[in-house]
Amino acid sequence: MNVSDWIPDIAKLEAHDDEEWLRVEREYAGRLYHYVARRVVDREARHDVVQETLLGAVRGIKSFDPTYTFEQYLFGICHNRTIDFLRRRRADTLQTEGEDDEPAPIERLAAETETPSRVVRAQEFSENARRLLALLLREWVQETWSEGEFVRLMVIEALFFGGWRNKDTWQRFGLNDETSVAGIKFRALVRIRELAQERPEATELFLALSRLTQAGEATFDFDVGQVWRASRASCPARVWLARALAGTLQAGPKSFVDFHLDEMRCEFCRANLEDLRTRTSDELEALHERARESTLRFLRSRGAN
């Protein structure tokens, strides 16, 4: 089982390096497949969408934004290709009518703003402030994780990732009352504001955080939640998912990873987990073969160097 968090060399990808792109295919096609499989019933079509995603990644690599991870870049493209496919298919279905395997409503999927390429412009935060906030949220998650404060981490994730209300949150985690949730949230925001203060380039963000933590919080929660989801601030590294699968996680990390997968139902991590679980299946062998061929064909047709 391959559990490495391999990250490609973007310069090589930009230079259309065959080896590097083939490695991308080997490392990522599986998790993309499982992401698509949650929306698309038809197996053949799943392979097509993965293929289109990888080709889209080759074509768009010049516009890769290093604020996000390469995996996020791929999932962003995959999300859009899946929507395109479902739209095309719905157009067909309306003409022929009467298929009963229609997946989740396209409108809902299209309205989701969790992938970087679909991030809408913030009301309160500039683009720059959002990028910094994404970094700080990840920093906060890592800090909280390394302190072993998994309940705190889950509470904040429930509020920002899950959009839970305080009263549902305190009950789920056996806290005293809603005030406990509000307290955890307040302390988290203060800490994130401190992290902003430590960075000279984050002055604008620091000021916005100060203003928003003092004034009301409706738009603030919305914005932070959006950045949290778009940046996948709390997604555990692949190695943690592999350990969860192998049953070797300790209680703290396990509680969080389970919560993230089962209650937050993070579809990126669920796709990763499925990939780890089924790495050697025939279905995936066929997928790899096709995706590999089409990627190579495309690279060669462009006279890759």
Output the smallest distance, CB 161 to Zn ion, in A: 9
Of 35 and 206, nearer to Zn ion (C-beta) is 35
Question: Taking the complex as a whole, how short is the minimal distance between the CB of residue 93 and Zn ion, in angstroms?
Answer: 31
Least separation in angstroms between residue 272's CB and Zn ion is: 8
CB nearer Zn ion, residue 154 or residue 299: 154
Q: Shortest distance, CB of residue 230 to Zn ion, whole angstroms?
A: 12
Interface residues with Zn ion (CB under 5 A) are: 235, 266, 268-269
Q: Closer to Zn ion by CB, 81 or 260: give it.
A: 260
CB of 69 to Zn ion, least distance (A): 12
Q: How many CB atoms lie under 10 A from the CB of residue 59?
A: 12
Contact 127, 119 (CB under 8 A): no
Rg (CA), the chain: 21
Which residue, 206 or 268, has its beta carbon nearer to Zn ion?
268
Compute the least distance from the CB of residue 143 to Zn ion, in Å.
Answer: 18
Name which of 185 and 229 has its Cβ closer to Zn ion. 229
Nearer to Zn ion, 253 or 292 (CB): 253
